[in-house]
Protein backbone atom coordinates (compact mmCIF):
# COMPACT_ATOMS: atom_id res chain seq x y z
CA UNK A 1 0.00 0.00 0.00
CA UNK A 2 1.74 3.15 -1.27
CA UNK A 3 0.13 5.85 0.87
CA UNK A 4 1.98 8.71 -0.84
CA UNK A 5 0.60 7.64 -4.21
CA UNK A 6 -2.88 7.16 -2.76
CA UNK A 7 -2.79 10.61 -1.19
CA UNK A 8 -1.69 12.25 -4.42
CA UNK A 9 -4.36 10.42 -6.37
CA UNK A 10 -7.02 11.47 -3.86
CA UNK A 11 -5.81 15.07 -3.93
CA UNK A 12 -6.46 15.20 -7.65
CA UNK A 13 -10.16 14.54 -7.01
CA UNK A 14 -10.49 17.96 -5.33
CA UNK A 15 -12.82 16.68 -2.64
CA UNK A 16 -14.12 18.46 0.44
CA UNK A 17 -15.00 17.21 3.91
CA UNK A 18 -16.58 18.16 7.20
CA UNK A 19 -15.78 16.97 10.71
CA UNK A 20 -18.27 16.75 13.56
CA UNK A 21 -16.76 16.60 17.02
CA UNK A 22 -13.40 18.19 16.22
CA UNK A 23 -13.09 19.41 19.81
CA UNK A 24 -13.13 15.84 21.15
CA UNK A 25 -10.11 13.58 21.40
CA UNK A 26 -10.73 11.52 18.26
CA UNK A 27 -11.85 14.58 16.34
CA UNK A 28 -8.69 16.50 17.24
CA UNK A 29 -6.46 13.61 16.20
CA UNK A 30 -8.44 13.15 12.98
CA UNK A 31 -8.24 16.85 12.10
CA UNK A 32 -4.48 16.80 12.65
CA UNK A 33 -4.10 13.80 10.31
CA UNK A 34 -6.24 15.39 7.61
CA UNK A 35 -4.48 18.76 7.78
CA UNK A 36 -1.01 17.21 7.72
CA UNK A 37 -1.82 14.95 4.77
CA UNK A 38 -3.50 17.80 2.84
CA UNK A 39 -5.86 15.51 0.94
CA UNK A 40 -8.92 17.79 0.85
CA UNK A 41 -9.37 21.07 -0.98
CA UNK A 42 -11.61 22.34 1.81
CA UNK A 43 -12.09 21.26 5.43
CA UNK A 44 -15.12 22.39 7.42
CA UNK A 45 -15.62 21.96 11.14
CA UNK A 46 -19.20 21.79 12.35
CA UNK A 47 -19.66 22.25 16.08
CA UNK A 48 -21.33 24.12 18.89
CA UNK A 49 -18.48 26.59 19.34
CA UNK A 50 -15.64 28.20 17.43
CA UNK A 51 -12.29 26.50 17.96
CA UNK A 52 -8.97 28.33 18.13
CA UNK A 53 -5.70 27.10 16.65
CA UNK A 54 -2.21 28.52 16.99
CA UNK A 55 -0.64 26.54 14.14
CA UNK A 56 -0.91 28.37 10.80
CA UNK A 57 -1.60 25.04 9.10
CA UNK A 58 -5.15 25.39 10.43
CA UNK A 59 -5.77 28.94 9.24
CA UNK A 60 -7.76 27.94 6.13
CA UNK A 61 -10.28 25.84 8.01
CA UNK A 62 -13.93 26.80 7.65
CA UNK A 63 -15.92 26.71 10.89
CA UNK A 64 -19.70 26.55 11.12
CA UNK A 65 -21.17 27.00 14.59
CA UNK A 66 -24.53 25.27 15.02
CA UNK A 67 -27.15 24.61 17.67
CA UNK A 68 -27.55 20.83 17.76
CA UNK A 69 -31.01 21.23 19.27
CA UNK A 70 -32.11 23.07 16.11
CA UNK A 71 -30.03 21.39 13.41
CA UNK A 72 -32.71 21.74 10.74
CA UNK A 73 -32.08 25.47 10.86
CA UNK A 74 -28.43 24.87 9.96
CA UNK A 75 -28.92 22.57 6.97
CA UNK A 76 -26.71 24.84 4.85
CA UNK A 77 -23.69 23.92 7.00
CA UNK A 78 -24.00 20.32 5.75
CA UNK A 79 -24.29 21.14 2.07
CA UNK A 80 -21.60 20.61 -0.54
CA UNK A 81 -19.30 18.17 1.25
CA UNK A 82 -18.08 14.97 -0.39
CA UNK A 83 -16.96 13.27 2.81
CA UNK A 84 -18.26 13.51 6.37
CA UNK A 85 -16.60 12.39 9.60
CA UNK A 86 -18.68 12.05 12.74
CA UNK A 87 -16.82 11.85 16.05
CA UNK A 88 -19.63 13.20 18.22
CA UNK A 89 -20.13 11.53 21.55
CA UNK A 90 -20.52 11.90 25.28
CA UNK A 91 -21.02 9.56 28.23
CA UNK A 92 -23.94 8.65 30.46
CA UNK A 93 -21.85 9.73 33.46
CA UNK A 94 -21.29 13.17 31.99
CA UNK A 95 -24.66 13.88 30.39
CA UNK A 96 -27.07 11.47 32.07
CA UNK A 97 -28.96 8.75 30.20
CA UNK A 98 -31.25 11.18 28.35
CA UNK A 99 -28.39 13.51 27.44
CA UNK A 100 -26.25 10.62 26.22
CA UNK A 101 -28.98 9.38 23.86
CA UNK A 102 -29.63 12.91 22.63
CA UNK A 103 -25.98 13.39 21.64
CA UNK A 104 -24.92 9.92 20.52
CA UNK A 105 -28.16 9.12 18.73
CA UNK A 106 -30.28 12.18 17.98
CA UNK A 107 -27.52 14.64 17.07
CA UNK A 108 -25.56 12.02 15.14
CA UNK A 109 -28.55 10.77 13.15
CA UNK A 110 -29.85 14.25 12.31
CA UNK A 111 -26.37 15.30 11.20
CA UNK A 112 -26.16 12.25 8.94
CA UNK A 113 -29.58 13.01 7.46
CA UNK A 114 -28.58 16.57 6.66
CA UNK A 115 -25.24 15.44 5.25
CA UNK A 116 -26.96 12.93 2.96
CA UNK A 117 -29.42 15.57 1.79
CA UNK A 118 -26.51 17.97 1.26
CA UNK A 119 -24.70 15.64 -1.14
CA UNK A 120 -22.25 13.78 1.09
CA UNK A 121 -21.30 10.47 -0.52
CA UNK A 122 -18.95 8.90 2.07
CA UNK A 123 -19.94 9.09 5.74
CA UNK A 124 -17.59 7.91 8.51
CA UNK A 125 -18.97 7.12 11.98
CA UNK A 126 -16.94 6.54 15.11
CA UNK A 127 -18.94 3.96 17.05
CA UNK A 128 -17.81 1.46 19.68
CA UNK A 129 -16.71 -2.14 20.08
CA UNK A 130 -19.77 -4.22 20.94
CA UNK A 131 -22.31 -1.87 19.34
CA UNK A 132 -25.56 -3.81 19.01
CA UNK A 133 -29.06 -2.41 18.61
CA UNK A 134 -30.47 -5.43 20.51
CA UNK A 135 -28.13 -5.02 23.50
CA UNK A 136 -29.59 -4.61 26.98
CA UNK A 137 -26.88 -2.03 27.74
CA UNK A 138 -27.89 1.53 26.88
CA UNK A 139 -24.47 2.54 25.55
CA UNK A 140 -24.06 -0.39 23.16
CA UNK A 141 -27.73 -0.37 22.16
CA UNK A 142 -27.64 3.34 21.30
CA UNK A 143 -24.47 2.93 19.25
CA UNK A 144 -25.98 -0.03 17.39
CA UNK A 145 -29.26 1.76 16.73
CA UNK A 146 -27.65 4.82 15.20
CA UNK A 147 -25.40 2.62 13.03
CA UNK A 148 -28.45 0.83 11.63
CA UNK A 149 -30.46 4.01 11.08
CA UNK A 150 -27.62 5.75 9.25
CA UNK A 151 -27.14 2.65 7.09
CA UNK A 152 -30.79 2.99 6.06
CA UNK A 153 -30.11 6.52 4.76
CA UNK A 154 -28.32 4.98 1.78
CA UNK A 155 -24.98 6.75 1.58
CA UNK A 156 -22.88 5.68 -1.41
CA UNK A 157 -20.35 4.53 1.17
CA UNK A 158 -20.80 4.23 4.93
CA UNK A 159 -17.79 3.36 7.10
CA UNK A 160 -18.31 2.39 10.75
CA UNK A 161 -15.41 2.19 13.19
CA UNK A 162 -15.79 0.13 16.36
CA UNK A 163 -12.69 0.77 18.49
CA UNK A 164 -12.18 -0.88 21.86
CA UNK A 165 -10.92 1.11 24.88
CA UNK A 166 -9.42 4.34 23.53
CA UNK A 167 -5.95 5.11 24.85
CA UNK A 168 -5.74 8.87 25.22
CA UNK A 169 -4.89 11.52 27.81
CA UNK A 170 -8.20 13.29 28.15
CA UNK A 171 -8.52 16.85 29.34
CA UNK A 172 -11.51 15.87 31.44
CA UNK A 173 -11.25 13.40 34.30
CA UNK A 174 -12.67 9.91 33.84
CA UNK A 175 -11.02 7.86 36.64
CA UNK A 176 -12.31 4.42 35.66
CA UNK A 177 -11.27 4.95 32.06
CA UNK A 178 -7.83 6.17 33.20
CA UNK A 179 -7.26 2.97 35.17
CA UNK A 180 -8.36 0.86 32.19
CA UNK A 181 -6.03 2.79 29.90
CA UNK A 182 -3.01 2.26 32.15
CA UNK A 183 -3.73 -1.46 32.36
CA UNK A 184 -4.64 -2.02 28.72
CA UNK A 185 -1.97 0.28 27.35
CA UNK A 186 0.71 -2.09 28.59
CA UNK A 187 -0.87 -4.93 26.62
CA UNK A 188 -2.11 -3.06 23.53
CA UNK A 189 0.56 -4.46 21.23
CA UNK A 190 0.05 -8.01 22.53
CA UNK A 191 -3.74 -7.98 22.68
CA UNK A 192 -4.87 -5.57 19.92
CA UNK A 193 -8.55 -6.40 20.45
CA UNK A 194 -8.61 -4.88 23.96
CA UNK A 195 -7.52 -1.31 23.33
CA UNK A 196 -6.28 1.12 20.70
CA UNK A 197 -4.44 4.47 20.69
CA UNK A 198 -6.63 7.37 19.59
CA UNK A 199 -4.09 8.36 16.93
CA UNK A 200 -4.38 4.93 15.32
CA UNK A 201 -8.16 5.32 15.02
CA UNK A 202 -7.75 8.72 13.38
CA UNK A 203 -5.13 7.45 10.96
CA UNK A 204 -7.29 4.47 10.05
CA UNK A 205 -10.20 6.76 9.18
CA UNK A 206 -7.99 8.77 6.84
CA UNK A 207 -6.31 5.76 5.22
CA UNK A 208 -9.72 4.19 4.68
CA UNK A 209 -10.87 7.38 2.98
CA UNK A 210 -8.06 7.01 0.45
CA UNK A 211 -9.02 3.43 -0.36
CA UNK A 212 -11.68 2.41 -2.85
CA UNK A 213 -14.57 0.95 -0.93
CA UNK A 214 -15.34 -2.69 -1.72
CA UNK A 215 -18.76 -2.53 -0.04
CA UNK A 216 -21.37 0.17 0.39
CA UNK A 217 -21.40 -0.47 4.14
CA UNK A 218 -18.27 -1.52 5.98
CA UNK A 219 -17.84 -2.18 9.69
CA UNK A 220 -14.28 -2.05 10.95
CA UNK A 221 -13.77 -3.82 14.26
CA UNK A 222 -10.82 -2.98 16.51
CA UNK A 223 -8.30 -5.32 14.87
CA UNK A 224 -9.10 -4.00 11.39
CA UNK A 225 -8.75 -0.44 12.64
CA UNK A 226 -5.35 -1.33 14.12
CA UNK A 227 -4.21 -2.82 10.83
CA UNK A 228 -5.25 0.23 8.83
CA UNK A 229 -4.00 2.70 11.41
CA UNK A 230 -0.54 1.16 11.44
CA UNK A 231 0.02 2.26 7.86
CA UNK A 232 2.50 5.11 7.56
Active site residues: 139, 143
CB burial readout 146-173, b (16+ within 10 A) else e: bbeebbeeebebbbbbbbbbbbbeeeee
Rounded to an integer, what is the distance from CA 111 to the centroid of its chain? 12
Q: Which residues contact 141 (CB under 8 A, 6 or more apart)?
A: 132, 133, 134, 135
Three-state secondary structure call for residue 109? helix
Separation of alpha carbons 229 and 124, rounded Å: 15
Coil, helix or strand at residue 219: strand
Distance CA 122, CA 102 (A): 24
Amino acid sequence: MDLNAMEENYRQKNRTCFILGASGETGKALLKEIVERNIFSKITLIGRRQLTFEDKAYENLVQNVVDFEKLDEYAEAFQGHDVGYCCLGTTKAKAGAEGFVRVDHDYVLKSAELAKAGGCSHFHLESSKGADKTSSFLYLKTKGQVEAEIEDLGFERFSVYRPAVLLVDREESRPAEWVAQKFLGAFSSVFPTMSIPITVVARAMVVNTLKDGEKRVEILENKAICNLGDKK
